[in-house]
């Protein structure tokens, strides 16, 4: 047979199969759209902070049970695990996160969150799914329903997990320590999706290798000697010292880290004092540190300690009142790196499913994800975190003049449809390829 004709025939068969799969997934999702929309709006309007995802976990556990999964709850806190065994074959883990952020929503959506709660410091805060975890969960449920309906087309085991406390960086480790890979089928592949606040709806984003940074939360207490605001010469003003400390931190990235190494040091919170005319005893700061290598991470943390001590000593703070720098090890998130072979395997699946123009290469980011832990606990398990576009074309066009709100913004809102359907179809197609009969 002429090789050209054979290749053309094979391409037609592949395109036909991809078209049939697309039509099949669309047809299966169509009757689910109304219930998925209701689920999304419920989750968005009822967010829960990290380590407090009780009702969210219960709702997702019920959804998985209804779809035919065997469900366990209370794994590593409020984590849930749904298992569907469907004959011999590999095991694929699909993860969604459950938690929301201490952000007061300002979108004015009809289903906007009005929830308030106490944060870890006991402060009254607004709560919002400002990072798209509500989209993740709804696409996750859509995937579970599709895989259950398509059991005759795949063979193996699907493990679907709802993970708590992603925003605090401790949820993945908590589930792993509670036996995720020993009490339940050990995965051969781990998949997750994440919303993208700068990618058009209907599209997914990918990248091989390093894709998200390591993250450290650092608490710094600048201590001084308090007193009356009218007599500053009798004090060691921690507000002034803290101001110098914040400015000096910027030299770490600009003058200490190699220019070709990515790094971020951000002061996200600073609190000190109670009244206009009182110089306080201390100022508390919260920092986030981002990097891609362990060497850069250690360099930054060492520099933070040195600078804090240095500015305090320069101000004449007594030795017993030097700054306290605490790296919150329970919130450390390693850098996330997508397995190149797994990425290359799934790209043709998605291109055939969604079209070449809708599968987009994305740049690495300084955001963090504790999904990385699932690949680090056993380097033989490949992981892949891909992005799902959430912004409709009209807003994308308008963004040329006005920047779009980023993830974690009180103004961020994803377009639910077709975002949810795109995420569910892409994840379902990926799982079915990895578990193909």
CB atoms inside a 10 Å sphere around CB 239: 17
By CB atoms closer than 10 A (0-12, 13-18, 19+), residue 331 is buried
Q: Using an 8 Å Cβ cutoff, are 296 and 257 in contact?
A: yes
CA 68 to chain centre: 27
Q: Using an 8 Å Cβ cutoff, are 193 and 201 in contact?
A: no
Domain boundary among 305, 331, 357: 331
Write down the pLDDT at residue 6. Answer: 36
Segment 366-381 mean pLDDT: 94
Same domain, yes or no: 287 and 324:
yes
> Which secondary structure element, helix H or strand E, spans residue 57, and what is its range?
helix 54-67
Q: Name residue 388's beta-bridge partners.
A: 195, 204
Same domain, yes or no: 324 and 384:
no
Write down the pLDDT at residue 421. Answer: 97
Catalytic-labelled residue, pool 48, 53, 63, 99 = 99
By CB atoms closer than 10 A (0-12, 13-18, 19+), residue 228 is exposed
Write down the pLDDT at residue 120. Answer: 84
Same domain, yes or no: 150 and 90:
yes
Q: Quick check: is 99 catalytic?
A: yes
What CATH number is associated with residue 312?
A: 3.30.70.360
Residue 83 lies in a domain: yes
Write down the pLDDT at residue 12. Answer: 38
In this prediction the pTM is 0.89
pLDDT over 70 (residue 23):
no
Segment 194-210 mean pLDDT: 97
How many Å apart are CA 314 and CA 297, to the nearest integer? 26
Mean pLDDT in the chain? 94
Q: Name residue 206's beta-bridge partners.
A: 361
Q: Using an 8 Å Cβ cutoff, are 123 and 189 in contact?
A: no
Same domain, yes or no: 296 and 379:
no
Range of the domain at 227: 214-331
Catalytic-labelled residue, pool 48, 97, 166, 237 = 166
Q: Using an 8 Å Cβ cutoff, are 347 and 426 in contact?
A: no
Same domain, yes or no: 179 and 311:
no
Model pLDDT for residues 275-328, shown as the tens digit of each residue = 999 999 999 999 999 999 999 999 999 999 999 999 999 999 999 999 999 999
Around 410, how many Cα atoms within 13 Å sit in the side-chain half-sphere?
11
Residue 2 lies in a domain: no
How many Å apart are CA 224 and CA 239, to the nearest integer? 9
Domain boundary among 331, 361, 389: 331
Residue 3 lies in a domain: no
pLDDT over 50 (residue 377):
yes
Write down the pLDDT at residue 9. Answer: 40
DSSP classification of residue 256: I
CB atoms inside a 10 Å sphere around CB 5: 9
Same domain, yes or no: 184 and 291:
no
Same domain, yes or no: 48 and 176:
yes
Segment 197-225 mean pLDDT: 97
Closest to 194 (Cα-Cα) out of 411, 407, 430: 407
pLDDT band, very low/low/confident/very high, at 22 (cuts 50, 70, 90): low
Model pLDDT for residues 230-277, shown as the tens digit of each residue = 999 999 999 999 999 999 999 999 999 999 999 999 999 999 999 999
Q: Left, alpha or beta for 414 (phi > 0: left; psi -120 to 50: alpha)?
A: beta
Closest to 382 (Cα-Cα) out of 426, 337, 430: 337
pLDDT band, very low/low/confident/very high, at 20 (cuts 50, 70, 90): low
**Which stretches does DSSP call E strand in 98-132?**
116-118, 124-126
Domain boundary among 269, 302, 331: 331
pLDDT over 60 (residue 18):
no
How many Å apart are CA 209 and CA 227, to the nearest integer? 53
- Residue 105 sits at the vertex; the CA angle it makes with 103 and 111, to the nearest 5 degrees, is 135
Segment 408-416 mean pLDDT: 97
Number of structural domains found in the chain: 2
């Amino acid at each position: 047979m002429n090789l050209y004709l054979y290749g053309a025939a094979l391409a037609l068969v592949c395109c036909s199969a991809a078209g049939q799969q697309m039509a099949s997934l669309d047809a299966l999702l169509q009757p689910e759209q109304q219930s998925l929309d209701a689920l999304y709006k419920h989750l968005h309007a009822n967010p829960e902070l990290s380590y407090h995802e009780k009702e969210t976990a219960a709702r997702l556990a019920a959804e998985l049970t209804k779809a035919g999964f065997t469900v366990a709850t209370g794994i590593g806190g409020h984590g849930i695990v749904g298992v569907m065994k469907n004959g011999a074959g590999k095991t694929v883990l699909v993860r969604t996160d459950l938690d929301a952020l201490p952000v007061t929503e300002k979108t004015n959506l009809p289903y906007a969150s009005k929830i308030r709660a106490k944060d870890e410091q006991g402060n009254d805060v607004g709560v919002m799914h400002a990072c798209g975890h509500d989209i993740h969960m709804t696409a996750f449920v859509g995937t579970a329903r599709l895989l259950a309906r398509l059991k005759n087309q795949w063979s193996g085991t699907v493990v679907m997990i709802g993970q708590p406390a992603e925003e605090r960086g401790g949820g993945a480790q908590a589930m792993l320590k509670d036996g995720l890979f020993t009490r339940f089928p050990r995965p051969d592949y781990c998949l997750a999706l994440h919303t993208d606040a700068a990618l058009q709806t209907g599209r997914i984003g990918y990248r091989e290798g390093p894709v998200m940074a390591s993250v450290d939360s650092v608490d710094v207490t600048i201590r001084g000697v308090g007193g009356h605001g009218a007599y500053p010469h009798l004090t060691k003003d921690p507000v002034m010292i803290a101001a110098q400390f914040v400015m000096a931190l910027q030299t770490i990235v600009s003058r200490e880290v190699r220019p070709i190494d990515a790094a971020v040091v951000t002061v996200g919170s600073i609190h000190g004092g109670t009244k206009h005319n009182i110089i306080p005893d201390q100022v508390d700061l919260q920092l986030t540190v981002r990097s891609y290598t362990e060497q850069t991470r250690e360099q930054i943390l060492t520099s933070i300690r040195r600078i804090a001590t240095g500015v305090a000593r320069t101000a004449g703070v007594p030795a017993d009142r030097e700054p306290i720098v605490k790296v919150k090890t329970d919130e450390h998130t390693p850098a996330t790196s997508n397995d190149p072979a797994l990425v290359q395997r799934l790209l043709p699946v998605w291109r055939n499913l969604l079209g070449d123009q809708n599968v987009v290469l994305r740049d690495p980011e300084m955001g963090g994800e504790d999904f990385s832990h699932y690949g680090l606990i056993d380097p033989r398990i490949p992981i892949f975190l891909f992005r799902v576009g959430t912004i409709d074309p009209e807003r994308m066009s308008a963004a040329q003049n006005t920047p779009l709100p980023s993830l974690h913004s009180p103004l961020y809102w994803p377009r639910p449809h077709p975002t949810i359907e795109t995420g569910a179809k892409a994840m379902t197609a990926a799982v079915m390829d990895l578990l193909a009969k």
